[in-house]
Amino acid sequence: MRRLVFVLSLVVAASLGAARADDQRVLAQSTTSTQNSGLYDHILPIFEAETGVNVAVVAVGTGQAIRNAEAGDADVLIVHAREAEEAFVAAGHGLRRYDLMYNDFVIVGPEADHLGLSAASSLDDALARLASGGAVVVSRGDDSGTHRKERALWAAAALDAARFGDWYRETGSGMGATIRVAVQSEGYVLTDRATWIAYQDKADMAVLFEGDPALFNQYGVVAVDPARHPHVNAEGAAIFVDWLLGEAGQAAIAAYRMDGQQLFFPNAAVLTD
């Protein structure tokens, strides 16, 4: 894969081997799915061993992660809501937005599948079955990337979640906690595949609908702009983003597996100039 070089105009070139951990700590605001899946436990030790730069991750919903970064409480942003990421850059909070990796969303529910999602002819059909009120549907309800995707899917299917009954339950929590509620209530839930694979207590739940192109799940990475937030660790952010987009980072992402399944697929590319 062609190595992508990430350059910050305010960064003075320095040897990575000379970077000191206490000077180079990077704060990353990130979506919960990347944390819940165990990805950072896999890639960060590799990055830190290669560069001497430490990374601290704050894992919250995408909306909250972006708001935190807008307040300057981040050096790097890693989330999965492209329009919001591009708006973050356009507003002057971030330098450039890069594709980092992808996977997909799936709809999980009881293996008994009382709503017949596994027989749905299309995504719209599957959503209509969920909206029938015949079973509990659990939503994150937290303005995360997954919640934003869910709302967009409801809207595309001409369904209004605001009119749903008490069978539609919003947790206001991260993906792992929301899956737990779905398992406990024997309900249905939209989740990113990586968090589902990593979730241990699946009970009698299974993936019931998958594969529609609209369920594609792209993750992006943005360094916070030091011109807007002068206190950020611009040098450490540049080192981290360059590594993620380069051969070493992309290989580390691709190598992360659980139960023999690859959780994320690297596809680093510049999307906005």
Q: In whole angstroms, give the CA distance from residue 188 to residue 177.
A: 14
* Amino acid identity, position 185: S
Return the DSSP state at 17. G
CA dihedral sign, ordered 159, 162, 163, 164: positive
Residue 240 has what pLDDT?
A: 97
DSSP string, 186-229: T-EEEEEHHHHHH-S--TTEEEEE---GGGEEEEEEEEEPTTT-
Burial grade of 203 (CB within 10 A; 0-12, 13-18, 19 or more): exposed
Q: In whole angstroms, give the CA distance from residue 31 to residue 140.
A: 13
**Predicted confidence (pLDDT) at residue 21 exceeds the cutoff of 90:** no
**Predicted confidence (pLDDT) at residue 19 exceeds the cutoff of 80:** no
Residue 164 has what pLDDT?
A: 95
Q: How many CA atoms lie within 13 A of 74 on its CB side?
A: 30
Mean of the pLDDT values across residues 62-86?
95
Mean of the pLDDT values across residues 34-60?
95
Closest CA to 130 of 139, 118, 117: 117
**Predicted confidence (pLDDT) at residue 143 exceeds the cutoff of 90:** no
Residue 6 has what pLDDT?
A: 41
**Predicted confidence (pLDDT) at residue 201 exceeds the cutoff of 50:** yes
The DSSP bridge partners found for residue 168 are 137
* Average model confidence (pLDDT) across the chain: 90
Mean of the pLDDT values across residues 103-118?
96
Mean of the pLDDT values across residues 19-45?
84
